Structure 1
Amino acid sequence: MVWSFDGTFATLWRFLIMDLRRLRYFTAVAEELHFGRAAQRMHVVQSAVSHQVKLLEEELGFSLLERSRHNVRLTVPGEIFLPEARDLLRRADEAMRRARASADGTVGWLAIGFVDNVLWSVLPPILRDFRQRWPQVELTLHPLDRSAQIEALRTSVIDIGIMPSPSPGDALKSVALAVAPLVAAIPEGHRLAVRSTLPIVELANEPFVLFPRRMNSRLLEIIVACCASAGFTPRIVQEAEQLHTLLALVSAGLGVTLVPQWVARVQQLGVIYIPIEDLLTSYELIAAWNSSTDNPALTNFREIAAGIAGQMLFLSPSQ
């Protein structure tokens, strides 16, 4: 008999169109070297096993077994094919197991977008709890501003985004996660650093360090609006795209800024946080996702986020 078989697993993928039962029947016969015992093992009639193995041989184009009245043995191609068949069945079983697990979100992947100030608030506890409950879900994190997250959600680049309110609307759904007032971040040693609270108007003549306008930062919008309501425009002396950079600039004495109250929980060397007395606008974080997303891991992430939100949703200035 002329036959060809390169012995690699890659070659076997073309046989996926076959019924996996044929491979299971062949493996049973090859291990039992007896059609009757193989049929009993597979809980089918002997003729079904014989027929399926014959179809498998026809599909492959070579014989796997030599049959006689009282004896069954593997051909040389059959001996080579047997470990490959076992491996293929093992992989198929694993693929089905993982597919079932992915259907309930216990394995898989999830892409998360976030604005940088959530690193001081909801994101770390959400990630910690999610990792503890679903360690086999691969998480990828994308630091993006609000507008970039909205576009990434619409194009399915990310599965969920943590961003400032308001809700993006359209096909995107959202839920509130946390809301808190803004506090002033003042350099240590500054004349205002000894105050327990202060009205925002007292910052009118102070240099500010803020996000660049091109970022379309919602936090920047709120800060500028709060200053405008007090009758002044912040005098920006330095810009930075990351909150931790802005705080480093405050620590260096270059200016002041406003940050969500939860940022004050993490001590920054050289920075004093002071509540603002008369701010009418708070900063709110939401979780947003595309309503057409069918990733099961997203449901599990939202469950964790809802629990964290229940703890953090409304923060008083003393918290």
Structure 2
Amino acid sequence: MTIQQINYFLTLAKELHFWRAAEKVFISQSSLSRQIKSLEDELGIQLFQRDKRNVKLTDAGKFLQEHWTILINEFNQVKTQAKKIDEGNSGRVSITYVGSIAFSFLPNFLKHINDKLPDLKLELTEPTDENHEKLLLDYSTDIALSRDEIKNIHIDSVKLSSESVCLVVPNNHWLNISNFGNLNDLKDEKFIIAGLHHSTFFASLLRNLFNKYNFEPKTIIESDFGGMILNLVSQGLGISILPHSFKYAKPENVRFIELNESIDLYISWRKNDLNKTIKRIVDMAKEV
């Protein structure tokens, strides 16, 4: 039994059609049929029920499809990581980040990496409601720039910085630094904010902030994309609460008012990862 045979099986299990499955794996229909028959003979298990018109998974086939899909995904992740380690400085490193740093920390950070490791390919992803811890443990990312410290025995986290959380209002709004008291002044305002039902760290911070002042915001638009929120606030559709970093986007017709709240930025990576480039990038983040 080979990895290739398992991939043939999983493709056929998905397509349930020999001709389409054979096209997907770039072999002839007769070759695919022989490979599946060889796999069944080796296992001593019938994986498919076939007739001239239909192909169906047996119960044993369904069981193997579920479990082999997980194993193949893990195998591919490990293979990808091994390739990254082998490629070293000229390989690839994947980074997930929070959108608020896209206008300040992230550009400086990426420039620093490019200056020191010009042949390194970076893969950037901004997950909206993802678990950075899971992404690291699944090898879906190598480095996570997140707002919360990841506490896991297999992961290292270091705090890079702290910044204030701000009210964001249009320039012609009645609210300013001198007349702002606390959030209770805003009970009649229309808010454009991240969905409070989400599990992200910033959504949790907002929930706690509103609970502290015991009021439910009048949310007219929900968005996890700060750039979109800034644009909507600048159009006078409502007000928002965002990290101070968004000020570096230099939005027009928008004013930032600092609140007595702060938010941190952490960098996290897998502990004892053999890819030495990851540790170099972490050190660069500390320098920036």
After TM superposition, the score normalised by the length of structure 1 is 0.59
Could you tell me whether the CA contact under 8 Å between 2:190 and 2:220 is conserved in 1? yes
Partner of 1:301: 281
Partner of 2:244: 261
Match for residue 194 of structure 2 among 207, 211, 215: 211
Could you tell me whether the CA contact under 8 Å between 2:94 and 2:122 is conserved in 1? yes
Partner of 2:267: 287
Within 5 Å, give how 1:118-157 maps onto structure 2: 118-145=101-128, 147-157=130-140
Distance 2:223 2:129 in 1: 16
SS in 2 for 1:232: coil
Within 5 Å, give how 1:61-76 maps onto structure 2: none
Deviation for aligned residue 1:148: 3.2
Deviation for aligned residue 1:200: 2.5
Amino acid in structure 2 at the alignment position of 1:133: K
Could you tell me whether the CA contact under 8 Å between 2:103 and 2:246 is conserved in 1? yes
Distance 2:129 2:275 in 1: 22
Unaligned runs of 5+ in 1: 1-101, 309-319
Distance 2:190 2:91 in 1: 48
Counting matched residue pairs gives 206
Could you tell me whether the CA contact under 8 Å between 2:192 and 2:239 is conserved in 1? yes
Deviation for aligned residue 1:208: 0.9
Deviation for aligned residue 1:125: 0.9
Could you tell me whether the CA contact under 8 Å between 1:182 and 1:261 is conserved in 2? yes
Q: Deviations over 1:113-154 (max 9, x none)?
A: 111112133211110100011001111101114633222101
Deviation for aligned residue 1:164: 0.8
Distance 2:151 2:189 in 1: 34
Partner of 1:244: 227
Unaligned runs of 5+ in 2: 1-84
Distance 1:220 1:253 in 2: 23
Distance 1:233 1:166 in 2: 28
Q: Deviations over 1:222-274 (max 9, x none)?
A: 12211221221222111112111111111111211111122223321121111
Moved more, 293-302 or 193-202: 193-202
Call closer, same or farther: CA 1:129–1:289 in 2, change over 3 Å.
same
Does residue 1:106 correspond to 2:86, yes or no? no
Does residue 1:164 correspond to 2:147, yes or no? yes
Could you tell me whether the CA contact under 8 Å between 2:195 and 2:223 is conserved in 1? yes
Call closer, same or farther: CA 1:255–1:236 in 2, change over 3 Å.
same
SS in 2 for 1:165: coil
Call closer, same or farther: CA 1:198–1:125 in 2, change over 3 Å.
farther
Deviation for aligned residue 1:189: 0.7
Distance 2:180 2:286 in 1: 32
Partner of 1:202: 185
Off by >6 Å, runs of 4+ in structure 1? none
Could you tell me whether the CA contact under 8 Å between 2:149 and 2:157 is conserved in 1? no
Amino acid in structure 2 at the alignment position of 1:253: G
Call closer, same or farther: CA 1:261–1:122 in 2, change over 3 Å.
same
SS in 2 for 1:139: strand
Does residue 1:275 correspond to 2:258, yes or no? yes
Distance 1:198 1:273 in 2: 15
RMSD: 2.4
